[in-house]
A and B are shown apart, each in its own frame.
Chain A
Amino acid sequence: MTGLLDTLLAGLALGAVYALVALGFVIIFKASHVMNFAHGSMLLLGGYLTAVLHEHLGFAGALAAGVLATAALAGVVDRVLLQRLPQDPRAAHVATIVTIGVDILLVTDLARRIGGDLLSLGDPWGDRVRTFGPVTVPDSRLAAVAVSALVIGAVFALFRYSRWGLSLRCAAEDTEAAALQGIRLGRTRMLAWCLAGALAALAAVFLAAFPATGLERTTGQIALKAFPAAILGGLASPVGALAGSLVIGLTEAFVITYQSDLHVLGDGLSDVAPYVVMVLVLLVRPNGLFGAKGAARV
């Protein structure tokens, strides 16, 4: 029973971090129909800046700097590179490949700087744990869940109540009509990219915190697991991203716990399980759990 509770909590914490990343994918996809392959390297950039700066600025200052810098970079990538491309939703794959190029550049540079090191981010939680009755939880996991919940709540509120959120939803509904109403498409899009970049940088902190040992050059690959989370929920649905992330986080946590029982299926099953779940869901619902079935107009 304790094992089950532990696993549930671990899955929840993992899901909360994935949700930050997956929400970024969804925001970007909603705003620009692009699948951002540079998301992992942006996450890594945020983590790296926090790690480098925390001795000078303190953790909070370094985190703020990392988040802002990553947001700025994401905005620049969109404005300077992607918005130059033809803005046809059907040509979005070109922009997607451009993000792959950006990812290669960023990852190469960061990997060269990080080398084989494990960077500490100087987070305040350290390796402290808390005990609630039979369950022991690391502080960092509690922080991950709490911060994610707050931030995601704030993002949803932005979507719902801010002018930018309204513009974004309008532009996603009908780009042309939105432009005719005077919505600045370029700026709306760029802000969406900035927000997604900021979320990714924030996620880096929790990915590098205890029980992980620190930030390494492969930390960015975590974004690959947020892909199934985003798809599972439906690429254009923020709520879906949230649900998908929880499903993926829980799946992974359970597979890790019961790996020894599943040994027949080979080692490293926890890396594959999210994808298997995704394929199964797509078989039943080709547009994801919360994806709207697009109405076809003849």
Chain B
Amino acid sequence: MSDAAKHLPRLTAAVVPLLVLCALPFYLESYWLRIGLFSMAAAIGAIGLSLLSGTAGQLSMGHAFFLAVGAYGYVWFSGDPGPGLPPVVAMVLAVLLAGAAGGLFSPVAGRVKGMYLGIATLALVFIGHHLMLTLDGVTGGFNGRSVEPMEIGGLVLDSGRDDLVVLGVPFGAEERLWYFGLVLLAFTWFTARGLLRGRPGRALAALRDSETAASVMGVPVARHRSSAFVVSSMYAGLAGVLIALSFRRVVPDHFGLVLSIDYLAMIVIGGLGSVGGAVAGAFFVTALPLVMAKYADQLPLVAAPGSPDGSLGPTEASRYLYGAAIVVILLWAPDGLHGLARRLRSRLRSRLRREPPAPPHGPGPAEPVTPAPTTTAPSVPVKEHTP
């Protein structure tokens, strides 16, 4: 088999979803596109958090803070109280600002470990929320600020004054932002995979598995911990910019503890340490409540909004389902969706292999391929680092 033919399945596996994603704005309502946009923003942030928690083994619950720094940074840099820079420049500066905020926290992030860091970063969420309310010259206080639309080479990503129509489909804000989000997500995906598979990723994984061993091998512990934190905050900042652009208004209450916990849930549901898993988890956690809120009144036992007291409203129904989904998924697959997919794939492969001619040594070689849960299960959730 030639090289090209060998790469063909992998290439199609990468290109087909991309084509589908590019085609979606031509078919979907703007409601669904908005859900998609929120999910993309969440995916970018989740990839960043996954670098930190899944690879470096550091738990962070302060992600909402860095998202907020990115979002407010963009708004301030591009907006009226603020220098009013071109949006692209403002975006880059906002990402750098989020990185700098992560760097400021690095004296803590470099020294404090695991669960301790998780709670320490919780502080950032509360302090950040306090700052957002207090510095109302910059942040607009409780009511927040509206967001300048992104502009690239004269094309404003807004429901704009120009009535752009592509192939008979009117292109409003959601359609335009969709492609922008896709580009950002693709950028994040490839840079994160590059980081994970390269030298830094290996150093971080070594650090996670054994700090002592890693430092003996010459990995500077504190520096790697804090730089993982900085990189993860920069991704969070980028996600914050996209969130700001798709909401068109930033308010302090969005960036609360709940958001941080959602991000943590995303990467754990997706499967720690995997870029694909983080994206899947982000879509799951972001889209599920929105989709459920849309269809909740059609579920059995759920009353329409505004029904008498004591009946189950759609918002509550979607919260119940969300909570239950987290519990059920993690009990069923403690290594997350990524681990689930991997097990399905290996089971499928072993079945395919078994079917054609009988294996040379009887049933023997086919059996071990089906994962033996006793040997893989305990090590999988933290060990896994193949993106």
* Interface residues, chain A, with chain B CB atoms under 8 Å away: 29, 33, 35, 37, 81, 84-88, 90-94, 96-98, 100-105, 108-109, 112, 115, 224, 227-228, 230-231, 235, 265-269, 271-272, 275-276, 278-279, 282-283, 286-288, 296-298
Q: Indicate with 1 or 0, residue by residue over B97-124, a CB within 8 angstroms of chain A CB atoms.
A: 0000000000110011101101110110
Chain A residues closer than 8 Å to B118, beta-carbon distance:
35
CB distance from A170 to the nearest CB of B (A): 21
* Interface residues, chain B, with chain A CB atoms under 8 Å away: 53, 57, 59, 107-108, 111-113, 115-116, 118-120, 122-123, 126-127, 130-131, 133-134, 211-213, 216, 257, 261, 264-265, 268-269, 272, 309, 312, 316, 319-320, 322-327, 330-331, 334, 377-382
Name the CB-closest residue of B to A232.
B119
A94-B384 Cα distance, complex, nearest whole Å:
14
Known: A98-B331, A104-B322, A105-B323. A93 touches B212 (CB 8 A): no
Q: Is there contact, CB below 8 Å, between A88 and B119? A: no
Q: Is there contact, CB below 8 Å, between A105 and B378? A: no
Excluding A98-B326, A267-B134, 11 further A-B contacts by CB distance (< 8 Å) are: A35-B115, A37-B261, A81-B331, A86-B381, A94-B330, A100-B261, A272-B126, A276-B123, A282-B112, A286-B113, A298-B216
A87, A102, A282: which contacts B116 (Cβ < 8 A)? A282
Q: Is there contact, CB below 8 Å, between A275 and B331? A: no
Please provide the 5 A-B residue pairs with the shortest distance between their CB atoms, ordered closest to farther. A101-B326, A266-B134, A104-B323, A275-B123, A105-B323
CB distance from A165 to the nearest CB of B (A): 23
Q: Is there contact, CB below 8 Å, between A88 and B379? A: yes
A-B contact count (CB 8 A): 139
A228-B130 Cα distance, complex, nearest whole Å:
17
A39-B211 Cα distance, complex, nearest whole Å:
31
A-B contact pairs, 6 of them (CB 8 A): A88-B378, A102-B327, A105-B324, A227-B122, A271-B126, A272-B130
B59, B119, B380: which contacts A278 (Cβ < 8 A)? B119
CB distance from A29 to the nearest CB of B (A): 7
Chain B residues closer than 8 Å to A105, beta-carbon distance:
320, 323-324, 327
Known: A102-B323, A296-B212, A298-B216. A85 touches B112 (CB 8 A): no
Q: Is there contact, CB below 8 Å, between B113 and A91? A: no
A172-B108 Cα distance, complex, nearest whole Å:
26
A29-B118 Cα distance, complex, nearest whole Å:
14
Question: Binding site of B, secondary structure by majority: helix, strand, loop or mixed?
Answer: helix
B57, B116, B382: which contacts A286 (Cβ < 8 A)? B116
Chain A residues closer than 8 Å to B216, beta-carbon distance:
298
Name the CB-closest residue of B to A97.
B268
Question: Binding site of A, secondary structure by majority: helix, strand, loop or mixed?
Answer: helix
A196-B116 Cα distance, complex, nearest whole Å:
20
Q: Is there contact, CB below 8 Å, between B108 and A93? A: no
Q: Is there contact, CB below 8 Å, between B126 and A91? A: no
Name the CB-closest residue of A to B373.
A86
Known: A90-B382, A97-B330. A286 touches B133 (CB 8 A): no
Chain A residues closer than 8 Å to B269, beta-carbon distance:
97
A282-B118 Cα distance, complex, nearest whole Å:
12
A286-B119 Cα distance, complex, nearest whole Å:
12
Q: Is there contact, CB below 8 Å, between A228 and B330? A: no
Chain B residues closer than 8 Å to A100, beta-carbon distance:
261, 264-265, 326
CB distance from A145 to the nearest CB of B (A): 26
Q: Is there contact, CB below 8 Å, between A231 and B130? A: no
Q: Is there contact, CB below 8 Å, between A35 and B381? A: no
Q: Is there contact, CB below 8 Å, between B127 and A88? A: no
Q: Is there contact, CB below 8 Å, between B326 and A86? A: no
Q: Is there contact, CB below 8 Å, between B331 and A288? A: no
Q: Is there contact, CB below 8 Å, between B127 and A275? A: yes
Q: Is there contact, CB below 8 Å, between A91 and B382? A: yes
A176-B172 Cα distance, complex, nearest whole Å:
61
CB distance from A97 to the nearest CB of B (A): 4
A115, A228, A266: which contacts B119 (Cβ < 8 A)? A228
Q: Is there contact, CB below 8 Å, between B330 and A35? A: no
Chain B residues closer than 8 Å to A227, beta-carbon distance:
119, 122
Known: A104-B319, A105-B320, A112-B316. A283 touches B327 (CB 8 A): no
Name the CB-closest residue of A to B116.
A231
Q: Is there contact, CB below 8 Å, between B330 and A101? A: yes
Chain B residues closer than 8 Å to A88, beta-carbon distance:
378-379, 381-382
Q: Is there contact, CB below 8 Å, between A84 and B107? A: no
Residue from B53, B320, B330, B380 whose CB has the most chain A CB atoms within 10 Å: B330
Chain A residues closer than 8 Å to B381, beta-carbon distance:
86, 88, 90-91, 94
Chain A residues closer than 8 Å to B324, beta-carbon distance:
101, 105
A102-B324 Cα distance, complex, nearest whole Å:
8
Q: Is there contact, CB below 8 Å, between B319 and A108? A: yes
Q: Is there contact, CB below 8 Å, between A224 and B123? A: no
Chain B residues closer than 8 Å to A86, beta-carbon distance:
334, 377-378, 380-381
Known: A94-B381, A108-B320, A228-B123. A282 touches B108 (CB 8 A): yes
A81-B123 Cα distance, complex, nearest whole Å:
29
Chain B residues closer than 8 Å to A271, beta-carbon distance:
126, 130
